[in-house]
Structure 1
Amino acid sequence: MKTLTLFLLSAIIVQAAAFTPSLPLSSSTSSSTSTILYAKKKSNQKKTSGGGFGASSQTSKPSTQTRSVSGYTGSGTKPLAKAANTFDQIRKVYGKEGTSDLYMRSPLNDPEIFWYVGKVVRRLDRDEQMEGEILPNEMEAVISQKRLIMEYAKHQLRPQNFGGPYASSLELWIAPGDSEMDAVQNKISLVKVTGSTKDLREGFSVSDVGFNPEIYVGDEQKDGGLRVKRDENGDPVKDVFEINS
């Protein structure tokens, strides 16, 4: 009798160990779409196609020359924070002289509308904090951070104008630092950013440039922020006007 009891007890233990209950997912495990830069969930499976946020490039520069995102959830958070912190540090030293205003447009969305998306800054002198071997020029300050800037603008700032079917034609344009009011009053033209990361010179370091993204607050979140109208050359399409104080 004792032997039979032990046998039955052992069988119950084995069955209990093999049983895995099916539990409903809690609300805390549901996916979120509030990541600062949207991206897909990481997978170990290799992919042969390039598209999408953070897709790798065979001609990509070393990480010391570019700010990039890998394409996976949350991957843009650290580069964006680093770019913003670096912007603040360099801006304190060189002010608007080292700053360039950034505008972006998608001709597929509206060929005349250029949206303000932030600022870049660069070192103008070989100070103690400089990490590169050469001083960055204005185009390098943008090109080295171009992917991060565009991903932020199309996923966070203006997805309705830069995302989806409009993403394939995105362009970055620059204006003098802190010239937003002059741009609105049609007093200045914009200059198109040309070139690619292949054009970054040897000795350039992305640590010597920064990016300060535009952030919408209040009504801007619904109605949009600063935008200007320009032609294909970046010139104003209307006459200069003054804003009454």
Structure 2
Amino acid sequence: NDLYVRQPKSNVFWFVGKIARVDGVSVPACVARQYPLIAQHAANLRPLEMYPHHDQKFEFWAAPGDSEMEVAYNRPDLQMTKIVIDDDLAESCMEVRTLMIGFQGEMYEGGEEGFHTWRDEDGYAVKPEVKGPDTGEQEISDDLMKKMEGMDAQKLWEEQERRAGRSPTDD
């Protein structure tokens, strides 16, 4: 699963990394068992936003694995799940062996801002879905590919020149 930390007192969720777990270990148990590691990583990754709150419980949210693009496009059907770590979970997660779970923290390179999203209290996107223009370019491209089949390079070049308003014989 992809893991996000909610910036305190805001609806900004920062991507902090990915968690791994074997069958039988729940996402909340995986996060709870690794909470000190993940929380410290989040505070170090986002020192301005998160470190001032490192003495408080961070609010973690899980998204399906490798869903960064769906999150970035604000897909309305993608809901993140809040990870609630109560006392019972904090105690029971200690039975999870560390070889059954893992965390791969996000790293920034060369001034990267970091990936974040805006979500509501239920884990849904706050901003509208990002959609590409529906211009029918794919149909045009497919039609052009069919026309180009079987043409030799010289004829393709001549057609390109003709469409550009140039005579293929001009030098």
Is TM (by shorter chain) over 0.5? yes
CA distance in 1, matches of 2:105, 2:95: 26
Q: Report percent identity of matched pairs.
A: 33
**Higher RCO structure, 1 or 2 (CA under 8 Å, sep 6+):** 2
Q: Deviations over 1:65-97 (max 9, x none)?
A: xxxxxxxxxxxxxxxxxxxxxxxxxxxxxxxxx
Tell me which amino acid in the other structure corresponds to 2:80. L
CA distance in 2, matches of 1:185, 1:176: 14
Q: 1:183 aligns with which of 66, 71, 85?
A: 71
Q: Could you tell me how far 1:170 is from its partner in structure 2?
A: 2.3
Q: Which residue is 2:123 aligned to?
A: 234
Cα distance change, pair 114–205 in 1 and its aligned pair in 2 (3 A): same
Q: Could you tell me how far 1:211 is from its partner in structure 2?
A: 0.3
* 1:139 correspondence with 2:40: no
* Equivalent residue runs for 1:197-212 within 5 Å: 198-199=88-89, 200=92, 203-212=95-104
Higher strand share: 2
Tell me which amino acid in the other structure corresponds to 1:122. R
CA distance in 2, matches of 1:138, 1:190: 12
Tell me which amino acid in the other structure corresponds to 1:116. F
TM-score normalised to the size of structure 2? 0.68
Cα distance change, pair 243–102 in 1 and its aligned pair in 2 (3 A): farther
Q: Which residue is 2:145 aligned to?
A: none
TM-score normalised to the size of structure 1? 0.48
Q: Is the 8 A contact 1:105 1:113 kept in 2?
A: yes
Q: Could you tell me how far 1:146 is from its partner in structure 2?
A: 1.2
Q: Could you tell me how far 1:203 is from its partner in structure 2?
A: 4.7
Structure 2: any 5+ residue segments left out of the alignment? Answer: 134-171
* Equivalent residue runs for 1:35-74 within 5 Å: none
Alignment RMSD: 2.1
Q: Could you tell me how far 1:168 is from its partner in structure 2?
A: 2.6
3-state secondary structure, aligned to 1:233: coil
3-state secondary structure, aligned to 1:189: coil
Q: Which residue is 1:101 aligned to?
A: 2
Q: Which residue is 2:114 aligned to?
A: 225
Q: Which residue is 2:41 aligned to?
A: 152
Equivalent pairs, count: 129
Structure 1: any 5+ residue segments left out of the alignment? Answer: 1-99, 125-134
Deviation beyond 3 Å, 4+ runs, structure 1: none
